[in-house]
Amino acid sequence: MERRKVKIDSSACIGCAACVGTYPDDFTLNDAGLADIVTGEADAESVDVCPVGAISVEE
């Protein structure tokens, strides 16, 4: 499991919580019901769980 710095495009997030369900230590839902990053880093494969592509790896 490779940890990478990730970011979330809040304008693309639909609040489905797929990231939270798959990576609960790395993602949470904020008060608006959208994804937030808990630690700033996540498994690099976490980008694949978002159905709308709102999670990306920062280069």
CA–CA gap between residue 8 and residue 26 (Å, rounded): 12
pLDDT of residue 50: 97
Task: Please answer whether residues 39 and 28 qualify as being in contact, where contact means their C-beta atoms are separated by less than 8 angstroms.
Answer: no
pLDDT of residue 1: 73
pLDDT of residue 44: 87
CATH of domain 3-57: 3.30.70.20
pTM of the model: 0.89
Reading the chain (59 residues) residue by residue, the pLDDT tens digits are 789 999 999 999 999 999 999 999 999 999 999 999 998 899 889 999 999 999 999 87
Question: Vertex 15, ends 10 and 42: CA angle to 5°?
Answer: 70
